[in-house]
Amino acid sequence: MNVRFLLLLLWMPFCAMAQGFSGLGASSDGFAMPQPQAGFAFPNDHGPHPDFSIEWWYLTANLESQDGTEYGIQWTLFRTALSPENAPGWASPQVWFAHAAVTTPNQHFTAERFARGGIGQAGVQADPFHAWIDEWSLSGPSFRALDLHAQGADFGYAMTLNAQGPLVFHGAQGFSVKSPNGQASHYYSQPFFDIKGTLNLPEGPKKVTGTAWLDREWSSQPLDDTQLGWDWFSLSFESGSKLMGFQVRDSDGGTFTSGTWIEKTGQSVTLPHGSLTLTPKAWHSVAGRDVPVTWNLQLPEYGMDVIVDAVNPNAWMGVSIPYWEGPVSVRGSHPGKGYLEMTGYE
Amino acid sequence: MMAPALWALMSHWWRNPIQFFAVIGGLALATALWCGVQAINAEARASYDAAAGVLGEGQYDQLVPRTGDTISVEDYIALRRAGWLVTPVVEHRFGAVRLLGIDPLTAPAGFAGLSAFQDQSNSFQRHSVFANAKTAETLSDELDIVVQLDVADGLAIADISVVQSFAKAKGLSRLIILPNQPMTQPLLEEIAPGLKRLAANQTADVEQLTDSFHLSLTAFGMLSFVVGLFIVHSAIGLAFEQRRGLVRTMRSLGVPMRRLLVLVAVEMGVIALIGGTLGVLLGYLIAATLLPDVAGTLQGLYGAQVSGVLEFRASWAASGIALALAGTAFAVSGRLLQIAQMPLLASGKSRAWVMARGQRSKIQGFLAVALLISAAILAGITNTLFLGFGLLACLLVGAALAFPLLVSKATQVFERRSKNATVAWFWADTRQQIPGLSLALMALLLAVSANIGVATMVSSFRLTFVGFLDQRLAPELYLQVDTKDESAALDKYLTDRGFESLPLPRADIDVQGEPARLLGVRVGPTYRQNWVFLDQIPDPWTDVKMGKGLIVNEQLARRQGLWVGHSVTLRQDLALPIVAVVGDYGNPSSQAIVSESLFADLHPQTPPLQFGVRTNDPQSLRTALVQDLGLAHNAMINQAQIKSASLEIFERTFMVTAALNVLTLGVAGFAILMSLLTLADIRVPQLAPVWAMGMTRRRLALLELARAVSLAALVFAAALPVGLALAWVLLTVVNVAAFGWQLPMFLFPAEYAGLAAYTLIAAVLAALWPVGRLLNTPPAALLQVFSNER
């Protein structure tokens, strides 16, 4: 997923990303490169990979309160390395930042944090699992049972998560290809979390339950210069099956699509470029730009033809690197819920 | 036919190179002046932003150690992990330089020095130290220094890791508390009991004061634009006057009117572009010369690392070229209309002599009176910025339009009073020239008035600002304590050792239902000598000391309409008269000031937790206080340093403005020169009869010089009241409309005398060339006038 974040990081105004990556060939700069045959070693791979330049722990959840109101939350911790060599204390080149959000049908709350590695303000430890930045955290005895906390000036949440299924690897053994030129990342997900907890909103606390999806991804490779942005979907259908699908939009109007079809049991199939079709159906003006908030997704192989609607079209993340991210509802051949993120709409 | 017609039009410039130079030079100078002002405005803003960076460091609440002078990284992390959004600052002295380490990742937007990191294209230069060129010279070569002009003098900023490794120290100096904290967080005492919270420091907020100065500089920029327009208009107008004959001839030869108009428009467009481009280059040179800290020498000293050497900004260049084109279009449009309306066989003689005569001067006079009356009315009712600038426009344009008429009137009076034929002729001849000179005279009037106005404004501003700093930052050292016992101990310690201790108790009160702050003061030499009041009874401090009166700040006075003589109720049984009103620039809140003992009566539970101390050696007193009373380093602020740093920054802008004044006069002098040169040719027939009657060329030349001097004197006489009115409008009308407080206006006769001298010198210099030409006019040329007469 989140191919776009590779790009987002390139745009970060005060990380040396532009210089760090613009000249990046497959072997330059000293960062490790994703390897097709690497596979994973758990629990260590739940922890950070400082020899890769970028990495994230990305959680989204669709929630419902007792009165039936739909909510969405996001919690993302990013790690980026300004340079491959390590240094202790304040001189550490590791930079951490995080986004948290709560989306209600008519409101959207966001918060953002920054920290540097080396001093304990932020970090991730694999076992027992503990990811934190400031007072925000995602932690538990194992990767299958986690507590989640975050807050901003006007919202907060506290949740518990329990995995109901196995980890899912995208691409071949988690080697996920992002462009026709072969850019790739290591990518796995835990899309089977049950989640419950409390949302703290200006109008008061709300008890909620639902499902959550956690993505893990790391790489050192940027996208092509011509790739403008992407549209990424994580959908959970009422049938129990799930879909991760995205397209990267090119400046010439073309797209690169990919995805993973996930069965109820956790068995997954990688969808090659071109098999999934994503078509914007309705646009909405938010933060001075037009973004597509209704989509038609078609995957003929699985008889899937669905319409995806944003729960709140104003789910704009007005953080340092702005983008759209929010919960969606799915109707058509495979009804369900999910999350949508869109970047590169100027 | 197009080419020959264009050729014929252009041939005029071949035959009159001086005029060509006048048009191009006039355009170039007007554009240069505009660009120079733009550059200086930008520089002034940058200087003030840098000053605000130093002075505004206290705009955030801070956490400092209760004892010692460092905070552990563990405390910082514990606070962050508990949901306290704080950002660390490490400060070390390196000789006279303050080396400030910040964490760009957690620093709030707009934090001192943060922009330095982000301005560097888009890379985060975490190994660099940012300082301005002057400070950079004093720093060690071991550091990777990047020159960044908007960092204040004496300050160097770097990532916290750089400062820590350079200073070989691990602790943090203080934590800045960010403005937007999350929903829930534990109490400070639970997380870091060794730290205490200091409220944002309100004594040094000068932002509003500097905003006011920016506004005035912007007004100055607009004035120079108007002066520039006058010069362009005058130069082009004269060129067209002289080509009337040529136009008639071309029309007679069959050049269609439409084509002629297009050709003239194209020709003038090209000239405007050339003049504008030259002007932009000249403006760049002027700005580079005037801005001492920006001079190009940096490049040589610091090689490729220099960033921010006076940049060639597209915005000045574009606005300069636009000025040249607009000014030319403005000047040409009227002339094109005249050509279009000119009958085919109209006289090709120059109309310069009949310009501004009859109907025209009546309209001009009517307009001038109407504008000046509007200005007077606006002065009474203006309460918005928009009306304030409207008032400025009415005043200046009205004065400029009225001026040639007044000069004409004055020469008429002089002529009548003269007892000698030569003098009578001198004045009559002067009056005859006024229509031809009127645009140049208006330009000079505007330039001199603007100079008087700006000199008054800048000097008043400087006096006020220095006075304000002396008043508010008079104690060299500021101290902060936490408890009543510490407060008493500190006061005793200082008094026992003969220091002038100034306790600063404060409490929030209501004055007529509005929130205000009550301050207590220990009346002594510091207050008596340094405080300047806007209004006062004689010896107000004695009344304050006796508890018989109080002082309020201007904000309270204006807001509540309470001035000297009114009284303020402090307690049900206690109402005190206001004995003085003090200017409190840049402070948005209302304040009332009473004696220390009265304050203690009113608020017995509020001991003074802040103290000012007078000392010649703040450094050793600091050391003594740490040793003897265990005060933390962070609890002491050296105000003397803050004061001298900010004064130096302001001084730089004042110098630049002064240099700009001279430049404006130079440009106006150029306008006069060009007008005189143009008139000189036309005037030969006027001078020939006087010469024939026996007046020598030498005598004629001297009279020409005398004429330039007397006209300049008249200009200055008129410019003085206009300039003072301009300063008054800027300081008391525009400033009040913009900020709600008034800058006091001071008069500076010595500066005005200097300006008068410059004005006369500019006029004499401008007249020297035409006078020289007159001296060298061959008698044959003068004689020829008679042979040409029919």
- DSSP for B191-242 reads H-TTEEEEPPP-TT--HHHHHHHHHHHHHHHHHHHHHHHHHHHHHHHHHHHH
Extract the tokens encoding B71: 């905070």
Signed CA dihedral, B24, B25, B28, B30: sign only? negative
Residues of B in contact with A155 (CB under 8 A): 183
CA distance B705 to A338: 89
Over residues B206-232, the mean pLDDT reads 60
pLDDT of the residue at B213: 57
Rounded-to-10 torsion of CA B53, B58, B61, B66 = 120
From the list B105, B159, B185, the residue facing A115 with the nearest CB is B105
Under the banding of pLDDT at 50, 70 and 90, the label for residue A300 is very high
Question: For residues A67 and B775, what is the distance between their CA atoms, to the nearest angstrom?
Answer: 102
Residue B129: per-residue pLDDT: 83
Could you tell me the CA-to-CA distances from A135 to A212, B78, B79, B167, B601 in Å, in that order? 21, 9, 9, 31, 46
Q: Go through B758-789 and write b for each residue having 16 or more CB atoms within 10 A of its CB, e for each that does not.
A: bbbebbbebbbebbebbeebeeeebeebeeee
- Comparing B117-126, B406-415, B747-756, the range with the smallest average pLDDT is B117-126
Q: Which positions 80-99 of B are in contact with A (Cβ < 8 Å)?
A: 80-83, 85
Asked if pLDDT for residue B789 goes beyond 70, the answer is no
A8-12, A40-44, A315-319, B536-540: which range is least confident on average?
A: A8-12
Q: Distance of alpha carbon B353 from its chain centroid, rounded? A: 40
Residue B328 has pLDDT above 90, yes or no: no
Residue of A nearest to B115 (CA): A14
Ramachandran angles phi, psi of A252, nearest 5°: -85, 10
Q: Using pLDDT thresholds of 50, 70 and 90, give the confidence band for residue B356.
A: very low
Q: Say whether pLDDT at B551 is over 70.
A: yes
The pLDDT confidence band at residue A193, using thresholds 50, 70 and 90, is very high
Residues B644-656 have a mean pLDDT of: 60
pLDDT at B429 over 50: yes
Are A337 and A330 in contact, with CB atoms under 8 Å apart? Answer: yes
Reply yes or no on whether the pLDDT at B428 is more than 60.
yes
**Are A89 and B161 a contacting pair at CB < 8 A?**
yes
pLDDT of A111 above 80: yes
**Residues 125-154 of chain B whose Cβ lies under 8 A from any Cβ of chain A:** 126
| One-character DSSP codes across B49-111 | HHHHHHHGGGGS-EEEESSSS-B-HHHHHHHHHTT--EEEEEEEEETTEEEEEE-TTTSPTT-
Q: Cβ B126–A111 below 8 Å, yes or no? A: no
Of the two residues B199 and B444, the one the predictor is more confident about is B444
Residue A78 lies in a domain: yes
Are the Cβ atoms of B161 and A91 closer than 8 angstroms?
yes
pLDDT at residue A27, rounded to an integer: 36
- Could you give the 3-state DSSP secondary structure of residue A238? coil
Q: What is the identity of the amino acid at A284? A: H
B122/A18 Cβ within 8 A: yes
- Inter-chain contact A151–B104, Cβ cutoff 8 Å? no
Separation of alpha carbons B475 and B198, rounded Å:
19
Residue A313 domain-assigned? Answer: yes
CATH number at residue A36: 2.40.370.10
From CA A2, how far away is CA A8, in angstroms rounded? 10
Residue A25 lies in a domain: no
What is the separation of C-alpha B685 from the centre of its chain, rounded to a whole number of angstroms?
Answer: 47
Residue A14: pLDDT over 80? no
Q: Name which of A19, A89, A111 is nearest B123 (Cβ-Cβ).
A: A19
Please, which residues 126-165 of chain A have a Cβ atom closer than 8 Å to chain B? 132, 134-135, 151-156
- Residues recorded for chain B: 790
What ipTM, to 2 d.p.?
A: 0.91
CA distance B755 to chain A (A): 50
Q: Does A19 touch chain B (CB under 8 A)?
A: yes
Q: In the predicted model, is pLDDT for residue B702 greater than 70?
A: yes
Are A151 and B184 inside 8 Å of each other by CB?
A: yes
Give the gap in angstroms from C-alpha A330 to the nearest C-alpha of chain B: 33
Q: Which of B392, B24, B416, B7 is nearest to B221 (CA)?
A: B392
| Residue with token string 């061959």 | B778
pLDDT score of A104: 95
Q: What is the pLDDT of residue B1?
A: 63
User: Would you state the pLDDT for residue B122?
Assistant: 39
Interchain contact, B83 vs A151, CB within 8 Å: yes
Q: CB B73 to CB A119 under 8 A?
A: yes
Segment A15-62, tens digit of pLDDT: 333 332 222 333 346 888 888 888 899 999 999 999 898 899 999 999
Residue A225 lies in a domain: yes
Q: Do A135 and B83 touch (CB under 8 A)?
A: yes
Rounded to whole angstroms, how far apart are CA atoms B639 and B600?
26
- A293 near B CB under 8 A: no
In this predicted structure, the answer to whether residue B49 has a pLDDT above a threshold of 60 is no
pLDDT above 70 (res A342): yes
Nearest CB to B183 within list A82, A97, A151: A151
Q: Which of A19, A90, A319 to mutate to test the interface with B (most CBs of B within 10 A)?
A: A90
- Contact predicate A164/A191, CB 8 Å: no
| Chain B CB contacts of A89 below 8 Å | 73, 161, 164
Chain A interface includes B627 (CB < 8 A)? no
Residue A50 preceded by cis peptide, ω within 30: no
Which of A159, A149, A71 shows the shortest CA–CA distance to A108?
A: A71
Average pLDDT over residues B46-70: 65
Q: Which of A86, A110, A135 is the best mutation test for B, with the most CBs of B within 10 A?
A: A135
Query: How far apart are the C-alpha atoms of B647 and B641, rounded to whole Å?
Result: 10
Q: What pLDDT is stored for residue B652 in this prediction?
A: 58
Q: What are the backbone angles phi and psi of residue A101, rounded to the nearest 5°? A: -150, 150
With an 8 Å Cβ cutoff, is B158 touching chain A? no
Residue A20 is assigned to a structural domain of this protein: no
Average pLDDT value for residue range B630-640: 70
Q: How far is A119 from chain B (nearest CA, A)?
A: 8
Distance from C-alpha of B429 to C-alpha of B686, rounded to nearest angstrom: 9
How far is residue A269 from each of residues A169, A192, B306, B749, measured CA to CA in Å?
A: 9, 16, 56, 90
Mutate to test the interface with A, among B118, B120, B123 (most CBs of A within 10 A): B123
C-beta atoms of A89 and B83 within 8 A: no
Considering A191-200, A251-260, B170-179, B675-684, the range whose residues carry the highest mean pLDDT is A191-200
Contact B75, B63 (CB under 8 A): no
Q: What is the pLDDT of residues B723-757, one digit of tens each?
A: 999 888 878 887 777 666 677 788 888 888 988 88
> Is A21 within a domain?
no
Q: Would you say residue A22 lies in a domain? A: no
Q: Is the pLDDT of residue B591 over 80?
A: yes
Tell me the nearest-neighbour CA distance from B107 into chain A, angstroms.
Answer: 10
Least-confidence region, from A97-101, A218-222, B258-262, B660-664: B660-664
**pLDDT of B169 higher than 70:** yes
A114–B contact, CB cutoff 8 A: yes
The answer on pLDDT for A315 being more than 90 is: yes
pLDDT-derived band at B354, boundaries 50, 70, 90: very low
Q: How far is B85 from chain A (nearest CA, A)?
A: 8
Q: Tell me if B122 and A132 make a contact (CB, 8 A cut-off).
A: no
Distance CA B154, CA B645 (A): 7
Quick check: helix, strand or coil at residue B786? helix
Mean pLDDT across A190-216: 95
Residue pointed to by tokens 């991804």 = A217
pLDDT of residue A241: 95
Of the residues A11, A14, A83, the best mutation for testing chain B's interface (the one with the most B CB atoms within 10 Å of its CB) is A14
Residue B303 confidence (pLDDT) above 80? no
Q: What range defines the domain where residue A67 resides?
A: 3-11+31-342
Paired tokens of A181: 């030129």
Using the predicted structure, report yes or no on whether residue B226 has a pLDDT greater than 80.
no
d(CA A283, CA A293): 6
Residues 731 through 790 of chain B touching chain A, CB cutoff 8 Å: none
Q: Which of A14, A18, A134 sits opposite B83 (nearest CB)?
A: A134
Closest among B463, B381, B388, B382 to B730, alpha carbons compared = B388
Beta bridge partners, B576, equal B568
What is the average pLDDT value for chain B, to the nearest integer?
77
User: Are B135 and B93 spatial neighbours (Cβ–Cβ below 8 Å)?
Assistant: no
Which one is predicted more confidently, B510 or B50?
A: B510
Cβ-Cβ contacts under 8 Å between A and B: the total is 76
**How many CB atoms are closer than 10 A to CB A180?**
12
Q: What is the pLDDT of residue B205?
A: 43
Q: Which helix (H) or strand (E) holds A113?
A: strand A108-116
* pLDDT tier, B217 (very low <50, low <70, confident <90, very high otherwise): low
Q: How far from A237 is each of A266, A306, B30, CA to CA, in Å?
A: 13, 11, 72
What total number of domains does chain A contain?
A: 1
SS3 A115: strand
